[in-house]
Chains A and B, each alone.
Chain A
């Protein structure tokens, strides 16, 4: 959105309270959604729960195309549509709900930096494993991505997405990496997060922030998603404070609301943490 439009939207947003029928759209959970999208969606859901804002999750096959920026998830609140965690955080801030107000300048700088770390390394690694690893792409990503469509559209869309992601990896210099190096990068990223978390309950001590939501979204999804190999989950599991961090957030924000679990069970994901 341009700056003027954003200011306008913020004003409108501030005028209305959070409605009861706010909806979050994501691809189909059982058959279609992939690891990276699932992680992003969970991060947004966690953030909204941390703010205490109710949201209904709606699964649509064409969620990616409905989104204003082409990325999932996106939320439909009142008469506005906002996609991706960054803009959603700003949108909720305009409505008066913010998690990071208590941070000072240095902490806010660190929070933003660590969020970019997750986006830069963890999300990119997820995309790489899904689309640039031939085995995973053939067995999991392409069939799932094109599941709602019939032949020949399913092949066209799946390959188109794969080529796009591979070109992106090329542009940022990840195409020269092999799978081992990517796992190593994930490990480094987790180590950095683990160092920053230390023994605190949340990244910025007592209060959860959007960084906690983002990290939880990605780590929980990695831990509970079955891929062709378990190595990614193993890398995360080797950091015990990250594991207990995920447990804690799951207990606090998801178990107390719904007994049957937000995540349900599907062939793709396990229902709770191992």
Chain B
């Protein structure tokens, strides 16, 4: 087959292969369909070919960023996890994905990005720690306002007031959605039988962050934990398809050790910081000496230099 496709996605943490929902969808689908992807786990979205993550770099069609388009492209390359589905099951897939996007995703976005406690303690902290300097000052806030605006537009409100009422409405829809998914899944291993499909990728991607990321304000998490079959389902997929990530120690505030296979800039970050500090100090010192704020006294043995030095000083004065 052709050279493997390259996928750029957010780094993983908390026992997940990636912390971003769209990235998780694409990663899970690729595993289910057996697509050989060269995965670059990065923390700087500006380094991706399209400027956002996830991004699939193809040779023929440029780079694609939307998860649904990426899945369509993989299908065209004959990596199809939905091959065995009947027409009705295909229709059900479309319907349940719409249910997820309309009912569960707004609540997820609210919990991770808009709820003040969660955002400040967990989400912003994670992104600020992991995005390289100096973007870590800029991007988390920008992502926060983007998500807020997106939620407002999707709901069609004129103005969005983050608060208890909005949270209750969103949570109510989300609880209902999770209960419906649980009822549809029943005691099956995957939604359509024994092998996973694209619907499983979407459901997994939306539920796994709730399961793994410990949030201070965790109403959605509590509801998910009460639905045993969904919890089992997510853990199952993690163990089967992402065993290396699942084995990492979960818990927040991990400082990632640079792995040999990683493509991010962690090893150079410290060097860049030290170099830039040295440069700044050197520049300040040079300026100080140059303008005479700081005078360097030369000792007598350097007699020739001192006479030059005096002339220099006269020139400057």
Report the separation of the CA atoms of residues A94 and B169 in the bound assembly, to the nearest whole angstrom: 18
Tell me, yes or no, whether A15 is within 8 Å of chain B by CB.
no
Q: Residues of B within 8 Å of A, CB-based: how many? A: 32
Of B66, B92, B158, B181, most buried by chain A (CB within 10 Å of CB) is B92
Contacts of B150 in A (CB 8 A): 171-172
Taking a contact as CB atoms under 8 Å apart, the answer to whether A116 and B95 are in contact is yes
Tell me, yes or no, whether A192 is within 8 Å of chain B by CB.
yes
The SS class assigned to the B binding surface is helix
Cβ-neighbour of B99 out of A112, A171, A172 (below 8 A):
A112
Q: Residues of A within 8 Å of B, CB-based: how many? A: 34
CB distance from A148 to the nearest CB of B (A): 20
Report the separation of the CA atoms of residues A105 and B229 in the bound assembly, to the nearest whole angstrom: 15
Contacts of A112 in B (CB 8 A): 99, 176, 180
Which of the segments B55-63, B83-91, B259-267 contacts the partner chain? B83-91
Tell me, yes or no, whether B103 is within 8 Å of chain A by CB.
yes
Tell me, yes or no, whether B226 is within 8 Å of chain A by CB.
no
Contacts of B168 in A (CB 8 A): 2-3
Tell me, yes or no, whether A117 is within 8 Å of chain B by CB.
yes
Report the separation of the CA atoms of residues A114 and B99 in the bound assembly, to the nearest whole angstrom: 8
Contacts of A3 in B (CB 8 A): 168, 172
Report the separation of the CA atoms of residues A108 and B181 in the bound assembly, to the nearest whole angstrom: 11
Taking a contact as CB atoms under 8 Å apart, the answer to whether B94 and A117 are in contact is yes
Taking a contact as CB atoms under 8 Å apart, the answer to whether B98 and A113 are in contact is yes
Taking a contact as CB atoms under 8 Å apart, the answer to whether A121 and B154 are in contact is no
The residue of chain A having its C-beta at the shortest distance from the C-beta of B165 within the complex is: A2
Contacts of A248 in B (CB 8 A): none
CB distance from A110 to the nearest CB of B (A): 7
Tell me, yes or no, whether B161 is within 8 Å of chain A by CB.
no
Tell me, yes or no, whether B299 is within 8 Å of chain A by CB.
no
Tell me, yes or no, whether A59 is within 8 Å of chain B by CB.
no
Tell me, yes or no, whether B218 is within 8 Å of chain A by CB.
no
Contacts of A109 in B (CB 8 A): 180-181, 183-184
Report the separation of the CA atoms of residues A191 and B99 in the bound assembly, to the nearest whole angstrom: 17
Cβ-neighbour of A113 out of B66, B96, B164, B169 (below 8 A):
B96
- 6 tightest A-B CB contacts, nearest first: A192-B91, A120-B98, A113-B95, A109-B180, A105-B183, A195-B91
Q: List 29 A-B contacts (CB under 8 A).
A: A1-B169, A2-B164, A70-B158, A71-B156, A109-B180, A110-B184, A112-B180, A113-B184, A116-B95, A116-B103, A117-B94, A117-B98, A120-B98, A167-B153, A168-B154, A171-B153, A172-B150, A172-B153, A172-B154, A189-B94, A191-B91, A192-B91, A192-B95, A193-B91, A195-B90, A195-B91, A196-B88, A196-B92, A196-B95
Other 20 A-B pairs with CB < 8 A, given A2-B169, A117-B94, A195-B87: A3-B172, A70-B157, A71-B156, A105-B183, A108-B183, A110-B92, A110-B184, A113-B96, A113-B180, A117-B99, A120-B98, A120-B101, A120-B102, A168-B153, A171-B149, A171-B154, A172-B150, A191-B91, A192-B94, A195-B90
Residues of A within 8 A of B (CB): 1-3, 69-71, 105-106, 108-110, 112-114, 116-117, 119-121, 164, 167-168, 171-173, 176, 188-189, 191-193, 195-196, 198
Residues of B within 8 A of A (CB): 66, 87-88, 90-92, 94-96, 98-99, 101-103, 149-150, 153-154, 156-158, 164-165, 168-169, 172, 176, 180-181, 183-184, 186
